[in-house]
Structure 1
Amino acid sequence: MKVYTKTGDEGKTSLLSKERVFKDSVRVHAYGTIDEANAAMGLAKSLTDKQWVIDNIHAIQKDLIVLNADLATDNVADNCDYRITAQHVEKLEKIIDKLELQRIPQKYFVTPGETQTSAALDLARTIVRRAERYIVRLRRTETVNTPVALYVNRLSDLLFVLARCVEQEDLITKVTQIVMQILQGSKQIDGEEKAMLEKAKKMIAAAEKKAIEINVPMVIAVVDVGGNLVAQERMDNALLASVSIALNKAYTAVALKMSTEQAAAVSQPGQSLYGINTTDGCRMVIFGGGIPIWQDGVLVGGIGVSGGSVDEDMSVAKAGLAAF
């Protein structure tokens, strides 16, 4: 059989009960609009990956095919067995009740379009409402199975609740993804901090070895790019004052992105950073022993050494830096 039959060329079509009616009759409008709603629900089904949504929509689509058979039947006998029954309506009500238990109540008008699936469901809902208006008009003059009218009414309610539940679940998924990204970022930061700590330990070990070679007890400090202490060691008999000096040397190297030896040269009277040592709570140290740590051209921290002469502090700091 060909798709085109030419039987409707004069503007008429056949009902399931064999009557010939005009294509713009209210009955044809009613079941044609239900067909539109079915197509919109198919769009919603194709846009979601939620199996529970797909299953609910597909079951309703099968009902709508049967419902349209009832709408396309006129002049039925009183003892005719309709296809859509009160049980179909009850099934929709149970689904609505179940979804309502999951849905967060909304005390405002909904603007469709939060997600693609919910937008398609809202489109289907408005089409069902239009179908219901045609059915109400049709019932004034012709016979319509009562459960059909009730089913269509409940269906628009179900589609509304279903759309909201889809939006709600998508929102939860989105928030969960954001939280997981944040947590993943935290894990990455934790990993970077752990890597920096391991490198700091190696630097301190190398610096301590150099300090033992020159027989000068030192304090060695390593800070991260924010100037925060990563690790610090005070060798036996190192000066107590060196604890804060070593840390501040490392901080200065990071804060100024230059060694404290370079800072000493540019902070002399008449130079560009003269008086820098009096700023930042007097944390700036302007004599050798602090060196910034660069990795692939990026500042990642600083090392500071104190306990000997400037030259001794610098040699120990360089030994530590070489181990990075």
Structure 2
Amino acid sequence: MGKIYTKKGDKGETGLLGGSRIEKDDLRVSCYGTLDEANAMIGTAYSLIKNTDIREILHQIQQQLFLVGAELASDAQGRSSLKQLINQHEVQWLEEKIDHYQQIVGEQREFIIPGKSTGSALLHVARTIIRRAERNIISLNKNKKIREEILQYINRLSDTLFMLARMEEQWSFIEEIKNKVLEKLKVQNKEEYLNLEIVKKMAKAAEEKAYQIGVPIIFSVVDAGGNLMLYHRMDDALLVSIDISINKAYTSAFLKIPTHEVAPLVQPGTELYGLQWTNGNRIITFGGGYPLKVHHRIVGAIGVSGGSVEQDMAIAMHALRIFELERGE
């Protein structure tokens, strides 16, 4: 490909396909130049629109505009060399798109105010540019005969862009609502259920706090049914802490209270005395286990073991803060 500049237009002239030259402010240049402007605006809309059907239509329109522009930028000799022209097939294709989308969006009952979505607003701009091009082509037709198919195509094109703009606006609105619903469901799922992502963050926080205190611990998480979700063991943690950590979490999930609140409930003379020996001796009566609640509903529990009771509780509380932060509390 040669240089993009030739210096032939420095005197205000441009060449037509076929060899003849005209002034750059000639009405013919305004016609195909305005179509070039419209094509660029359609391309801008194409780059932002997500609807695949609309994108495909816009891409075909862009290709067709090159054919219209080429014909307008040709003299008699140049037109004879064109291998493809806009014909009734393309006009009918536009009419089919107009009818199709009008059935979807319905009849227009009021003036359309552009701007409800970026894509639709850009299509409205492209539509107005095509209208300007149409006015120029009609003026040119008074002195230079333009094929009827070109006039029909440009007229239908502005209507097509209008319908595509309406469709894009409606589609974007539906997508926005759908995305909001999905996001809300996603947030609700994150809030109402314990997931491994949050659990891992809690384990990391517990380890960091334990390292800060200088106590190797074992951190366990169970779901609402007391089933083990995660077991995290630091180097040099006591082996005896394995079962204790898991059972602290189990106890909190089973009784729905922190483990340090269990001891007063199972003292001799209380109604729950003896509970500590049930469930395969898994009930723990000292601190380090905490239930995980969402909207007052148990979604799981954690257990920490490896240090003193106070240290285990401090580490567990640090992990609980991560749980609350993840839920936005």
TM bin (shorter chain): 0.5 to 0.7
- Aligned residue type for 1:38: N
Tell me which moved more, 208-217 or 19-28: 208-217
3-state DSSP of counterpart to 1:108? coil
- Aligned residue type for 2:100: K
For the structure 1 residues 229 and 159, does the alpha-carbon distance in structure 2 shift closer, same or farther, using more than 3 Å as the test? closer
For the structure 1 residues 208 and 6, does the alpha-carbon distance in structure 2 shift closer, same or farther, using more than 3 Å as the test? closer
Give the Å deviation of 1:46: 1.8
Q: Paired residue for 2:33?
A: 32
For the structure 1 residues 197 and 107, does the alpha-carbon distance in structure 2 shift closer, same or farther, using more than 3 Å as the test? farther
3-state DSSP of counterpart to 2:8? coil
Mapped pair 1:98 → 2:100: yes
Q: Paired residue for 2:255?
A: 202
Aligned ranges 1:1-324 → 2 under 5 Å: 1-75=2-76, 83-191=85-193, 199=252, 201-203=254-256, 210-217=264-271
Tell me which moved more, 2-11 or 175-184: 2-11
Give the Å deviation of 1:189: 3.8
For the structure 1 residues 77 and 170, does the alpha-carbon distance in structure 2 shift closer, same or farther, using more than 3 Å as the test? closer
Give the Å deviation of 1:164: 1.8
- Aligned residue type for 1:215: G
Q: CA RMSD in A?
A: 3.9
Rounded Cα–Cα distance in structure 1 between residues aligned with 2:79 and 2:58: 32
Q: Alignment identity in percent?
A: 34
Give the Å deviation of 1:33: 0.5
1:209-266 Cα distance to aligned partner (Å, 9 max, x none)? 7545322337xxx9x898x798xxxxxxxxxxxxxxxxxxxxxxxxxxxxxxxxxxxx
Rounded Cα–Cα distance in structure 1 between residues aligned with 2:126 and 2:138: 18
Give the Å deviation of 1:107: 2.6
Query: CA contact under 8 A between 1:70 and 1:145: conserved in structure 2?
Result: no
Give the Å deviation of 1:148: 0.6
For the structure 1 residues 37 and 225, does the alpha-carbon distance in structure 2 shift closer, same or farther, using more than 3 Å as the test? closer
- Aligned residue type for 1:28: V
Rounded Cα–Cα distance in structure 1 between residues aligned with 2:166 and 2:152: 22
Give the Å deviation of 1:185: 2.8
Q: TM-score under structure 1 normalisation? A: 0.60
**Which protein shows a greater Rg?**
1
- Aligned residue type for 2:125: L
Give the Å deviation of 1:75: 4.7
Rounded Cα–Cα distance in structure 2 between residues aligned with 1:175 and 1:8: 52
For the structure 1 residues 137 and 94, does the alpha-carbon distance in structure 2 shift closer, same or farther, using more than 3 Å as the test? same
| Structure 1 unpaired stretches of 5+ | 231-293, 301-324
Rounded Cα–Cα distance in structure 1 between residues aligned with 2:185 and 2:22: 65
| Structure 2 unpaired stretches of 5+ | 195-221, 227-251, 273-290, 299-315, 324-329
Query: CA contact under 8 A between 2:191 and 2:294: conserved in structure 1?
Result: no
3-state DSSP of counterpart to 1:141? coil
Q: TM-score under structure 2 normalisation? A: 0.59
Give the Å deviation of 1:91: 0.9
Rounded Cα–Cα distance in structure 2 between residues aligned with 1:203 and 1:6: 84
For the structure 1 residues 28 and 182, does the alpha-carbon distance in structure 2 shift closer, same or farther, using more than 3 Å as the test? same
- Aligned residue type for 1:216: T
Give the Å deviation of 1:208: 7.5
Give the Å deviation of 1:116: 2.5
Rounded Cα–Cα distance in structure 2 between residues aligned with 1:200 and 1:80: 83
For the structure 1 residues 229 and 96, does the alpha-carbon distance in structure 2 shift closer, same or farther, using more than 3 Å as the test? closer
- Aligned residue type for 1:67: V
Query: CA contact under 8 A between 1:17 and 1:72: conserved in structure 2?
Result: no
For the structure 1 residues 203 and 58, does the alpha-carbon distance in structure 2 shift closer, same or farther, using more than 3 Å as the test? closer
Query: CA contact under 8 A between 2:67 and 2:86: conserved in structure 1?
Result: yes
- Aligned residue type for 1:178: K
- Aligned residue type for 2:117: T
Q: Paired residue for 2:245?
A: none
